[in-house]
Structure 1
Amino acid sequence: MSRQKIRLGFIGSGYMGQLAHMTNYLNLPEECDIVALAEPRPGLAQSVSTRYAIPHVFGSHEELLASGLVDAVVASQPYTRHSILIPDILRAGIPVLTEKPVTLSVAAGEKLVKLGQELGSLHMVGYHKRSDPAMEYAKRIVDEWKQSGEFGKLRYIRITMPPGDWTAATDAPIGTSEPGIAGLLEPLPAEFSEANGRKYDAFVNYYIHQVNAIRFLLGESYKVTYADRSEALFVGESESGICVTLEMAPYTTSIEWHEGILVAFEQGFIKVDLPAPLVRQQSGQVTVMRDNGKDMPSYTTPVMPNVSAMRNQARNFLAAVRGERPAPCSAPEALEDLKLARDYIRLLEAYQ
């Protein structure tokens, strides 16, 4: 697709639709126009379309897809609706961005990925942390060190993310008292009991970002090898034998967000501290330690741009729609996250 403006449609205008996505695309006027909204709640549709100057409003996603008005859509829907809603978008041949995870269950994800591959449709999954400028910078350094070998082998990746204030006290979205439209939702995976199914659901809702980020920094697949009884630690090993850990809840914070990533080589490390997901105009921070045994050891802290991960994700989606570069995370890769989550819960079941 040429560099012309992309005509963007939104399917849904709830909390994440407005605060994580709509505001960011609205602030990229040289790259896109939000031209259509599908929202079945008429009062909310009217308020949101007025606030964001969206000229065309539809009561259903089917009407929006059939209108011919859009080049791409952002479908900010609960992931339990992805397997029901997204096939219609893929069949329409319209590129789509959804939130994570790709679906709820592995089985549903496999069907959705297969359909997308058969149709050749772009489905970008919104792992926005990959689009944080700090993460993009860290990934470049990791790949450079792996290629050069100057700082030894990659040895270890650790992510720590205790529960905290992920909204960063952001502004409230436009709300409504209208009831939601009843519709089908994907059920919990049949292989788990009700209790373990809900545990799996909670894990993919909260920690799937970090499961994905580990593979992003590794540059290769990995498997889960250990889950502790307290459910605070997720341990894995990559294809080449690199150890990875995810510390899920060593403690909690009430008004802060503590998300840290350590990528350790034999003679240096890259450390990333990420802000809360809905922070605006702020990227993460990077610290690089170098000690190759020849030069003076050093710490560097590059200054990151005042761009949030969500804003940069919007740019990355538009670039993928134009065919300028691949999406940061496509549906087939996102499916691997669900398999890891499933295997983690299976390990926990062994203690029961």
Structure 2
Amino acid sequence: MENIRLGFVGVGGMGQMAHLRNYLTIPGCTVAAIAEIRPQTARLVADRHGIAGVYADHREMLAKEQLDGVVASQQFGHHAALLPEIYPHVRRVLTEKPLCINADVGAKLVTAAAAAGCTHMVGYHKRSDPATIWAKAKIAELTASGRLGKLTYVRILMPAGDWIANGRIGLLSANDKPAGPSPESEPRPSDLDEATYKKYVDFVNYYIHQVNLMRHLIGGPYQVTYAEKTGVLLAVESAAGIAGTIEMTPYRTTIDWQEEALVCFEKGWVRLTLPAPLATNRAGTVEVYSDPDGGPPERTSPTLPWVHAMRQQALNFVAVCRGEIAPPCAAAEAVEDLRIARDYIRLRFGV
């Protein structure tokens, strides 16, 4: 099996706890180098995990290392400046969601990656959860067979809650200050004032996962048809005429995470529940309710492996680096999420 050499750009909270710890234990994968602008924290991480290459920034790392891929765990507002400097040096890149802030900038990133021959996988980790994978396959099976009738509606519920779920236990930090500058931040678009822009960025930061998951579950492109003015409800319609809603924090939890999706057919449904993003060693759950003609109603649930979404996402990226699979979500699709987000803001605020 080909050994994959990875470099990390950023080993802060998400860099370590959402990403690095998952790659360190994948057979045939070596974390060869890290680039971190906080030198003492970089050394702590490298010493703990036996990482040979430690660099002050991504430029130095890319100049000195031969890497198969880069995991760049950075604030998404830095992607526009950072990624064009990475694309020419590696064939695969993984970043956190979203692709960037503005769709037009995202389209330029897609073009730059293609020109460099680099595949950019965007970290929509919910697609990698074993529960989502199982539910997606079941939805496809039911759609093809027609056993429960037509797909009629998709509802996603996303209350704010404890997304960390003790997932930062073991985080290494020297509490040192950056020794160098961060990448330049993406500028605010001219058509949004400061207050509306903040609302847009907050939406993109928190709910872009659900925007992406909606497309994944509803089975294709969709458009925003309604944006409730207080920010609780977003309604959509797919290109195939299927209705959907995203409910955004109609209530909140303090020590729980209650994200779920309900995919409805005429004669049943598939319910997907997802754990907190940094919860480890657990998948989501799936329940299927079927009430077909000529048979008694029944509820079934699969037993899923003890694998969390971030772990499976890491396994997927290594497989992408080997050329075994396509990214679960590539940069070109992630641009569409930003367009949906902008349409939502336009409907909600009239700008």
Give the TM-score of the pair, scaled to structure 1.
Answer: 0.96
Identity of aligned residues (%): 47
Q: CA RMSD in A?
A: 1.2
How far, CA to CA, are the matches of 1:277 and 1:172 in structure 2?
A: 16
Instruction: Single out whichever of 92-101 and 178-187 deviates more from structure 2.
Output: 178-187
- Find the partner of 1:164 among 161, 170, 175: 161
- Find the partner of 1:73 among 52, 70, 74: 70
Residue 105 of structure 1: CA displacement?
A: 1.0
- Find the partner of 2:110 among 101, 113, 124: 113
Contact 1:164/1:255, CA 8 A, preserved across alignment: yes
How far, CA to CA, are the matches of 1:94 and 1:62 in structure 2?
A: 16
Contact 2:91/2:117, CA 8 A, preserved across alignment: no
How far, CA to CA, are the matches of 2:38 and 2:247 in structure 1?
A: 40
Letter in 2 for 1:106: A
Residue 172 of structure 1: CA displacement?
A: 4.9
What secondary structure sits across from 2:250 in the alignment?
Answer: coil
1:19-38 alignment runs, 5 A limit: 19-28=17-26, 30-38=27-35
Letter in 1 for 2:336: E
Aligned to 1:178: 176
1:332-351 alignment runs, 5 A limit: 332-350=332-350
Contact 2:70/2:90, CA 8 A, preserved across alignment: no
1:242-281 alignment runs, 5 A limit: 242-281=242-281
Letter in 1 for 2:174: T
Aligned to 1:18: 16
1:297-312 alignment runs, 5 A limit: 297-312=297-312
How far, CA to CA, are the matches of 1:188 and 1:257 in structure 2?
A: 32
Which segments of 5 or more consecutive residues in structure 1 lack a partner in the other structure? none
Contact 2:10/2:34, CA 8 A, preserved across alignment: yes
Aligned to 2:61: 64
What secondary structure sits across from 1:313 in the alignment?
Answer: helix
Contact 1:24/1:310, CA 8 A, preserved across alignment: yes
How far, CA to CA, are the matches of 2:29 and 2:188 in structure 1?
A: 37
Contact 1:8/1:33, CA 8 A, preserved across alignment: yes
Residue 342 of structure 1: CA displacement?
A: 0.4
Letter in 2 for 1:145: L
How far, CA to CA, are the matches of 1:219 and 1:334 in structure 2?
A: 15
Contact 1:267/1:292, CA 8 A, preserved across alignment: yes
Task: State the Cα deviation string for residues 41-79 of structure 1 (Å, max 9, x = none).
Answer: 211111010111101111110111122331111000100
Residue 176 of structure 1: CA displacement?
A: 2.9
Is 1:219 aligned to residue 192 of structure 2?
Answer: no
Instruction: Single out whichever of 190-199 and 179-188 deviates more from structure 2.
Output: 179-188
Residue 179 of structure 1: CA displacement?
A: 2.0
How far, CA to CA, are the matches of 1:15 and 1:235 in structure 2?
A: 34
How far, CA to CA, are the matches of 1:88 and 1:263 in structure 2?
A: 41
What secondary structure sits across from 2:333 in the alignment?
Answer: helix
Contact 1:35/1:69, CA 8 A, preserved across alignment: no
How far, CA to CA, are the matches of 2:201 and 2:237 in structure 1?
A: 23
Aligned to 2:203: 203
What secondary structure sits across from 1:162 in the alignment?
Answer: strand
Aligned to 1:5: 3
Residue 111 of structure 1: CA displacement?
A: 0.8
Contact 1:188/1:198, CA 8 A, preserved across alignment: no
What secondary structure sits across from 1:98 in the alignment?
Answer: strand
How far, CA to CA, are the matches of 2:37 and 2:231 in structure 1?
A: 39
How far, CA to CA, are the matches of 1:201 and 1:299 in structure 2?
A: 40
Residue 116 of structure 1: CA displacement?
A: 1.4
How far, CA to CA, are the matches of 1:25 and 1:177 in structure 2?
A: 24
Letter in 1 for 2:173: G
Aligned to 2:236: 236
How far, CA to CA, are the matches of 2:53 and 2:203 in structure 1?
A: 37
- Find the partner of 1:45 among 42, 46, 50: 42
Contact 2:5/2:31, CA 8 A, preserved across alignment: yes
Residue 93 of structure 1: CA displacement?
A: 3.4
How far, CA to CA, are the matches of 1:122 and 1:66 in structure 2?
A: 19
Contact 1:283/1:304, CA 8 A, preserved across alignment: yes
1:124-163 alignment runs, 5 A limit: 124-163=121-160
